[in-house]
Amino acid sequence: MREAVFTELAKHERPVSAYDIADNLSAARGKRVAPNSVYRILDVFVANNLAMRVESANAYLANTHPGCAHDCIFLVCDECGEAAHVDDEEVSRAVRAIAATRQFKAERPVLEIRGLCKGCA
Ligand SMILES: [Zn+2]
Ligand SMILES: [Zn+2]
């Protein structure tokens, strides 16, 4: 089941929801796959850095760089749903520093910018 979820996830270039994955797997397997079990598997992937969650879209992407642990920044297009992924150590360090000044332990900063991609603007 994990393998099937990952294969389905990896097919998508844009963030995909647990519901869409469950629908596609249900169709492919000819029997109903519950979104809840897909959610659980996706959470395991996120915890193991195999997938990334795009919070503002409530959707997931396969991690293109599973080897490195950093705070990814997503540019999420409101029109086509594309989530371009950028990394900027300076920005994520600054965000974590803001939390630290308030004695807040930052576990996972969420850095997402909503707007329109080049193709849609
Ligand atoms: Zn990244
Ligand atoms: Zn777009």
Judge contact between 50 and 41, C-beta under 8 A. Answer: no
Which tokens sit at 44?
A: 């395991």
CA-CA distance, 121 to 84, in Å (whole number)? 14
Ligand 1 center–CA 19 separation, angstroms? 24
Rounded CA-CA distance 2/121 in Å is: 37
Contact of 106 with 96, CB cutoff 8 Å: yes
Report residue 116: phi and psi, to 5°: -120, 135
Distance 23 CA to ligand 1 centre (A): 28
Which ligand gives the minimal distance to the CA of 115? 2
Q: Domains in the chain, ordered, with CATH? A: 2-115 (3.30.1490.190)
Query: For each of the chain's 121 residues, which pLDDT tens digit applies?
Result: 999 999 999 999 999 999 999 999 999 999 999 999 999 999 999 999 899 999 999 999 998 777 767 788 999 999 999 999 898 999 999 999 999 999 999 988 899 999 999 999 9
Three-state DSSP at 78 gives coil
**How far, in Å, from the CA of 89 to the mean position of ligand 1?**
10
